[in-house]
Amino acid sequence: MARSAPAGTRYRAGHRLDPQSPVLRLWHKAKQLGTWDPRSLDFRRDAAHWQERTEREQDATLRLLALFLGGEESVALDLVPLIWAVAREGRLEEEMFLAAFLWEEAKHVEAFHRFLDEVTGEPGDLGRYFTPSYQRLFGEELPRAMGQLLADPSPPAQAEASVTYHMFVEGVLAETGYHAFFEALTRQGLFPGLREMITLVQRDESRHIAYGVHLLSRLVAEHGDPVWAAIERRMHELLPLAHGLIVESLSPYGDDIPYGLDLQTYLTIAQQQFERRYRRIERARRQTLAEIDQLALEGEEL
């Protein structure tokens, strides 16, 4: 005999997961690609490379790791209000993906902590590397934009939160930082375990950014100009802050940044990421939700 659903259940009789949902596709990718274990990373050669680095190189390594780890901890801590907002709207496929999203961010935190503990030893208070722009973005702008969803889960508020979280923290700053640092380490054949870790983190982050682009495109297609105005305003508010964060983080090393890192390369990549996502989301003003979903299912990069 079939059991009846408990009184007050939110189960929707007859509801089926949408196999054509781009977000469900991201959920499937998360199951396939996101199950790596930070404990399986091999940092033995990294520990030897660390001992061979100069004091200046060690300082630059700690600086970048501090910024990465601080960012990963922040996004892990601040994601829950968005999960609540989409769950409140009954968007089951999105809630499923965001559950994997949060789990992946927690793994990134574990992985960076493990590298710092096992390779660099006791690095001291890494907060010494947090510049004014970094503290403002991660200490004020991100938690405010995400936290306000608990009181105001409206489409413009969701858009402001997603621009802050997905477009800037992940899509401009993290993606730029990981790419440039990975390329520099690869050129010099350094820290193979860290490079493997960054590859895995970037693969996860690509899904997170794809979700953000889809979320913002959906909000624009569904709600029009009020959402687009919120997106445009927030993007232009945060672009100077992102630029300042990059400059402040690398300027202590002058024109000779360790590992051959180059400030202008960072700034160029960040600007390119911003412009590409800006154009992609702006197109949603002229598209239906069905068209946005179809392009995603056809493999258009999000």
Give the domain extent around 250. Answer: 38-297
**Is residue 151 in some structural domain?**
yes
Closest by Cα among 209, 203, 202 to 33: 203
**Is residue 87 in some structural domain?**
yes
In contact, 260 and 187? CB cutoff 8 Å: yes
CATH number at residue 182: 1.10.620.20
pLDDT truncated to tens, each residue of the chain (302 aa)? Answer: 333 444 444 555 556 888 888 999 999 999 999 899 999 999 999 999 999 999 999 999 999 999 999 999 999 999 999 999 999 999 999 999 999 999 999 999 999 999 999 999 877 889 999 999 999 999 999 999 999 999 999 999 999 999 999 999 999 999 999 999 999 999 999 999 999 999 999 999 999 999 999 999 999 999 999 999 999 999 999 999 999 999 999 999 999 999 999 999 999 999 998 998 899 899 999 998 888 887 776 654 44
Pairwise CA distance, residues 251 & 63, whole Å: 12
**Is residue 16 in some structural domain?**
no
**Is residue 23 in some structural domain?**
no
**Is residue 229 in some structural domain?**
yes
pLDDT at 7: 44
Q: Count how many domains the chain has.
A: 1
CA distances, 244 to each of 31, 92, 267 (Å): 36, 38, 10
Token reading at 166: 């997905």
Q: Which helix (H) or strand (E) holds 165?
A: none
Half-sphere exposure at residue 14, Cβ-oriented, CA atoms within 13 angstroms: 0
**Is residue 19 in some structural domain?**
no
**Is residue 46 in some structural domain?**
yes
**Is residue 183 in some structural domain?**
yes
